Structure formats: C-alpha cells, structure tokens
C-alpha cells in the first residue's frame, strides 16, 4: 500500500492518521511501501519496483507541476488500484482556483507584487539554472491545474477536504475484505449533505444573501432559508454534515451529487430559484443586478473545490 501527495496541503495525509488505532489494522494487513510524511522512502525506491507491484495507492493533491504529473504516471504504472484521495486529487480542489490566472500571473503575485517578499533582483523560478557546481533544475510549473483523473486512469474516487474519517475506514475495510465496488465508483454515499443535515427544511424563498458574520443569531433552521449560501443541496454527503454541526454552511468539499455534471452550475440554478430569479422577466435589470451582486466571489463560492473539472475549467486567457 502507498500514500502520496502532489499539489496538496498535507491535510489528506494527516486525515489518514485520524483513523487512530485502526492504522494498526492497516499495518497488519499491508506493507506500507511509500508514505513521505510517515516513512523515509524515495522516488527511486518506487521507480525500482516492478509494474503493478503496489496493490493500492492513495494519491492526494492536484496536478500543478511536471513533477506531479511524472509521479502520477509512475504510480499508475506501479499500482494495481489507484485511488484519487481528497478534493484536490478528485476535483482539482483549492489549488485549482489558480486556474483563474496563468503561470505568469501566479509568479507575479507570489514573487514580485507581494508585501511579504523581498525580491530586489526580481528573480522568478526557472526550470534550469547553471551554477559553478553544475546545473540546478526545478519541475515545470504548469499554466493549468488538473485533477488526477484528467492525467491518468483512476480506479476509485474518495472526495472531501480532507475525506471524512468514516469514509477512509470504510474504504480500507473494503480493500482488506476485497469488497470494493465496480471500477470508477465514488467511495461515498449517494445522498446529499442536505440529507444528513440536522436543520429543519421548509419552502425556501429569500430576498437577501448574507455572510455568516452578518447574521446576528443563527436560528435552528436551514441556513439557505436564513440567506446564507450553503452548497448542501448540490454536494455529495458522507461527512455527516460536519460543517453544519458548527453552524457553518457547506462549501461543497464532497463534490457534486451523483449524476450532476457541474456542482457550481447546479447550485447557481438552485439559488436562482430560491431568490425568485426565475421571474427575471418581471424584474428590472437593476433588480436582477442587485440580487446577483450580493454574491461577492462567484467562483470561490460555487467552485471552491471543483473548478478544474467544471464545464468552464479555467479563465480564458487572451
Ligand atoms: S483535499 Fe483539502 S486536505 Fe486534502 S490536500 Fe487538498 S486542501 Fe489539503
Ligand atoms: S441547505 Fe445547508 S443548511 Fe439547508 S438543509 Fe441543506 S445542508 Fe442543511
Ligand atoms: S458539510 Fe460540506 S464542506 Fe463541510 S465537510 Fe461536508 S461536504 Fe465538506
């Protein structure tokens, strides 16, 4: 078994440790051959393995650089089962929001126009630099972030940011008992976050959109009915609606509900109907604009985790 990451925050690998004493069952059932956060192994150890030598690879993180892509392809070759683990690998995740810019703009923000960076020589990362000792190389930084499944063939998908502990345990259990579902399955329930949410739901119709801090007191009812955008209706469950337990709206990390082509588009459509925008022809342009302007960060709100796999997967650059 193998755990590794590409463009990721490391949270998915820590989430594996959250299974607590169950990790002992994993170690008893399988040899862990590679896990950079936990054991000291190197890429060359994987490269030396026979093809299909690894039974299961849990791969977290998006594909941002040529190194990420190389490792994804190498591990595909070496693994019998490749599991896309966490929102970044499954949908591109938060790193995928960088598809609103290209490489040049990302470098400009990170290395030049940044109040916490001193870079008097305006040095930018290069793939190759000659020094007196020889050549130093860096992986290529791509213009566009992709999900793992956009680069290699993936066997299973385990979404979440990070995936909920229960779903990780269920997946490990299914592997150990040889009870994995058919290839291509998402290892999470078919229901939505709304189906798991404790809040009472009724007919939704709102006039204003608010952020959580703008609401004096959260009432014991659906957050959407209180004017707070909650992606529960268009997000796959399996997390027991854990954000709602903290009175925070679902931001959609479970990815789209089954048979949904585009999570953000589905939520925009649901919100339009709750806001009464279906009666758009009876409204003035100003009234429609006023309603739409209340959503201050459209991509960040509706595509926080899924921009690279959405229908319009990046900003069109001229
Ligand atoms: S899915 Fe979330 S926890 Fe996992 S690597 Fe991406 S940002 Fe981190
Ligand atoms: S929209 Fe959000 S708050 Fe309302 S029921 Fe669904 S998950 Fe719960
Ligand atoms: S409630 Fe939504 S954002 Fe929170 S963990 Fe569940 S799917 Fe993710």
Nearest to 75 by CA among 93, 96, 95, 58: 58
pLDDT, tens only, 237-253: 999 999 999 999 999 99
Ligand 1 atom 4 nearest Cα: 12
Query: Residue 91 pLDDT more than 70?
Result: yes
CB-defined site of ligand 2, < 6 Å: 193-194, 197, 199, 201, 222-224, 230, 232-233, 241, 244, 249-250
pLDDT, tens only, 8-22: 999 999 999 889 888
- Nearest bound ligand to the CA of residue 251: 3
Ligand 1 atom 6 nearest Cα: 88
What is the CA(230)–ligand 2 centre distance, in A? Answer: 6
Which has the higher per-residue pLDDT, 25 or 243? 243
The predicted model gives 169-177 an average pLDDT of 94
The predicted model gives 22-49 an average pLDDT of 89
Mean pLDDT over all residues of the chain? Answer: 93
Among 14-18, 95-99, 282-286, 291-295, name the one with the lowest average pLDDT: 282-286
Query: Residue 87 pLDDT more than 70?
Result: yes
The predicted model gives 144-166 an average pLDDT of 98
Task: Specify whether the CB–CB gap between 187 and 167 falls below 8 A.
Answer: yes
Alpha carbon distance 248, 114 (integer Å): 31
Burial annotation 161-196 (CB, 10 A radius, 16+ → b, else e) = bbbbbebbbbbbeebeeeebeeeeebbbbeebbbeb
């Amino acid at each position: 078994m193998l755990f590794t990451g590409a463009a990721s925050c490391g949270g998915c690998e820590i989430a594996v440790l959250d299974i607590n004493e169950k990790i002992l069952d994993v170690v008893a059932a399988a040899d862990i051959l590679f896990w950079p956060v936990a054991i000291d192994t190197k890429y060359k150890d994987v490269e030396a393995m026979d093809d299909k030598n690894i039974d299961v690879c849990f791969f977290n993180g998006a594909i941002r650089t040529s190194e990420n892509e190389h490792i994804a392809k190498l591990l595909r070759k070496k693994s019998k089962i490749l599991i896309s683990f966490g929102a970044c690998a499954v949908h591109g995740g938060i790193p995928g929001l960088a598809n609103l810019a290209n490489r040049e703009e990302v470098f400009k923000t990170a290395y030049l126009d940044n109040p916490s960076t001193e870079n008097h020589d305006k040095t930018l990362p290069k793939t190759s630099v000659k020094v007196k000792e020889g050549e130093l190389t860096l992986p290529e930084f791509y213009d566009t972030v992709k999900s793992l499944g956009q680069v290699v063939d993936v066997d299973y998908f385990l979404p979440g940011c990070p995936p909920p502990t229960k779903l990780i345990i269920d997946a490990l259990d299914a592997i150990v008992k040889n009870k994995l579902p058919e290839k291509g399955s998402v290892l999470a329930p078919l229901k939505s976050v709304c189906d798991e949410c404790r809040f009472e739901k009724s007919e939704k119709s709102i006039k204003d959109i608010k952020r959580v801090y703008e609401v004096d007191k959260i009432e014991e009812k659906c957050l959407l009915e209180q004017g707070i955008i909650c992606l529960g209706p268009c997000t796959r469950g399996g997390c027991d609606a854990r954000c709602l337990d903290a009175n925070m709206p679902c931001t959609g990390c479970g990815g789209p509900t089954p048979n949904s082509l585009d999570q953000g588009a589905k939520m925009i459509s649901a919100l339009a109907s709750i806001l009464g925008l279906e009666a758009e022809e009876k409204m003035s342009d100003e009234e429609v604009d006023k309603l739409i302007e209340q959503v201050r960060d459209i991509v960040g709100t509706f595509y926080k985790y899924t921009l690279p796999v959405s229908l319009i997967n990046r900003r069109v650059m001229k």
